[in-house]
């Protein structure tokens, strides 16, 4: 690959140097126009881009570089390991988004790297042109007018491709697809304007795990609307709390006891939390406003089509809030498996940025530390969170008026009142309660 990379990078310069070295003879035969065009040098052949440290989540703003897996001059491919960084919550391996050559490392080992700032620089072949997470550091002599023309030309190409039904993809991606006999029209695209990326093809071929490639922000939002509210713009002033006196989970306790041994036989530890997550997901289908985010600059609400439910958990590194992906598509057993995996990685300090990314709703279980009541804090840009208290055995009256023991759990909800009113939050709470008090309802339409 190194030889091919150098040829593509320096081929035009070598050819130009050879022509100039031939002397200034006026009798030299002029180059054909097409050949002359083929020899020009342009920023489209190669560019230097800065790879920025992306948001790791949990409000982390800086990390320590513990180890570099590359050095200046190394040629890497997309998804190759670049370095390992350590925060006060997790150890994370950073992988490459590009095919290219390392030209600069911005930090030494044990140096502090800031989120959103350059981590290292690449010399890359500019094939995709849609890496919004990086910024070009090469000098540019083009004017604003030329930039505008280039943008218009790109938009025209996208529109033309869409009209013709042609799949947007780079030559490198098409080559991978051709070698593996993959129809690009069947590959889910995550790039800007519906472009199929290299990672999309690798996921389709199951070379890398599903969900490794994050969709471009333009594809994430299902729907966006202007927030219609007269509530204060400050979240702290706009929080609304909906306390719930108690959820009778007596039936759920019996159901979980019946399924616990079967789940253990399959190697899965079944707790109550997977039931809570599935009940929340089912209720979110009826109240999608709670599965959204609020964009303050534009005062817009962004609805999410997936239910990535964040779960607060205690680890040796402190309290962390990773999320279980796509809960709406999973069974209770699958949710339990994913939750167990998150807890194992958390205990080892091996949670990754993907574990924290794109959360849409949150639950915090203070019952495991003996808490009964809480006022959970919304994790922006999410708009709602539930606080689960300890389940206690309390006396209750049954249908015949007799006093019987019941398992009661107290729950409180906090929502962003700028877009969610108390009635919506209470309606969601009642539906969630209904699913848990009648757990057989979770089996209807279970995936």
The reply to whether 33 belongs to the active site is no
Residue 131 known to be catalytic = no
The pairs formed by 76-84 with CB atoms below 8 angstroms and a separation of 24 or more are 76/100, 76/101, 76/102, 77/1, 78/198, 78/199, 79/199, 79/202, 79/208, 79/212, 82/51, 82/119, 82/120, 83/119, 83/120
What does each C-alpha distance from 415 to 45, 245, 317 come to in angstroms?
50, 17, 28
**Other CB atoms within 10 A of residue 78 CB:** 17
Residue 101 phi, psi (nearest 5): -115, 135
Catalytic residue among 74, 80, 130, 421: 421
Q: Is 64 helix (H, G, I), strand (E, B) or coil?
A: strand
In 266-413, which ranges are continuous DSSP H helix?
273-286, 332-348, 353-356
Rounded CA gap, 6 and 78, in Å?
A: 17
d(CA 273, CA 266): 18
Distance between CA atoms of residues 46 and 32, nearest Å: 25
| Residues forming a β-bridge with 225 | 301
How many degrees, rounded to 5, is the angle at CA 327 between CA 342 and CA 386? 80
d(CA 60, CA 363): 20
Check: CB of residue 271 under 8 Å from CB of residue 335. Answer: no
Rg (CA), the chain: 27
Q: Which of 52, 107, 307, 417 is catalytic?
A: 417
C-alpha separations of 380 from 36, 163, 296 in Å: 55, 39, 10
Residue 155 phi, psi dihedral angles, 5° rounding? -60, -40
Burial 246-280 (b: 16+ CB within 10 A, else e): bbbbbebbebbeebeeebeeeebebbbbbbbbbbb
**CB contact set of 343 (below 8 Å; sequence gap of 6+):** 313
User: Could you give the angle at the alpha carbon of 85 between the alpha carbons of 81 and 91, nearest 5°?
Assistant: 100
CB neighbour burial string for 153-179, b if at least 16 within 10 angstroms, e if fewer: eeeeeeeebeeeeebbbbeebeebbee
Which of the residues are catalytic? Answer: 417, 421
């Amino acid at each position: 690959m190194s030889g091919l990379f150098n040829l593509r990078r320096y081929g035009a310069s070598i050819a130009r140097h050879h022509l100039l070295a031939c002397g200034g003879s006026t009798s030299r035969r002029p180059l054909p126009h097409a050949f002359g065009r083929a020899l020009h040098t342009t920023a489209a052949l190669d560019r230097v881009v800065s790879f920025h440290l992306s948001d790791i989540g949990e409000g982390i703003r800086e990390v320590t570089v513990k180890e570099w897996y590359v050095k200046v001059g190394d040629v890497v491919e997309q998804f190759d390991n670049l370095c390992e960084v350590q925060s006060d919550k997790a150890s994370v391996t950073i992988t490459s988004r590009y095919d290219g050559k390392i030209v600069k490392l911005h930090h030494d080992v044990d140096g502090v790297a800031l989120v959103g700032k350059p981590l290292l620089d690449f010399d890359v072949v500019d094939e995709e042109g849609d890496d919004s997470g990086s910024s070009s550091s090469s000098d540019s002599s083009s004017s604003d007018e030329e930039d505008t023309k280039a943008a218009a030309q790109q938009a025209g190409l996208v529109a033309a491709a869409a009209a013709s039904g042609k799949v947007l993809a780079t030559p490198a991606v098409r080559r991978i697809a051709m070698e593996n006999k993959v129809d690009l029209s069947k590959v889910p695209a995550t790039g800007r304007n519906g472009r199929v990326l290299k990672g999309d093809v690798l996921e389709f071929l199951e070379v890398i795990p599903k969900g490794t490639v994050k969709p471009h922000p333009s594809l994430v939002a299902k729907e966006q609307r202007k927030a219609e509210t007269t509530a204060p713009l400050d979240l702290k002033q706009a929080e609304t709390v909906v306390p719930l006196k108690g959820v009778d989970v007596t039936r759920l306790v019996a159901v979980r006891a019946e399924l616990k041994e079967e789940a253990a036989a399959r190697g899965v530890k079944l707790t109550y939390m997977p039931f809570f997550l599935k009940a929340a997901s089912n209720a979110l289908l009826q109240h999608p406003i709670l599965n959204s985010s609020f964009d303050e600059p534009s005062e817009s609400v962004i609805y999410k089509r997936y239910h990535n439910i964040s779960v607060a958990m205690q680890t040796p590194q402190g309290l962390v809030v990773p999320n279980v992906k796509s809960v709406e598509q999973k069974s209770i057993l699958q949710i339990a498996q994913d939750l167990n995996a998150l807890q194992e990685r958390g205990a080892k300090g091996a949670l990754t940025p993907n574990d924290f990314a794109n959360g849409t709703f949150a639950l915090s279980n203070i019952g495991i530390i003996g808490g009964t009541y809480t006022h959970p804090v919304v994790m922006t840009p999410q708009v709602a969170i539930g606080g689960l208290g300890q389940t206690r055995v309390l006396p209750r009256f049954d249908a015949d008026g007799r006093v019987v023991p019941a398992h009661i759990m107290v729950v409180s909800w906090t929502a962003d009142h700028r877009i969610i009113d108390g009635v919506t939050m209470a309606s969601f709470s009642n539906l969630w309660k209904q699913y848990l008090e009648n757990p057989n309802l979770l089996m209807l339409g279970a995936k």
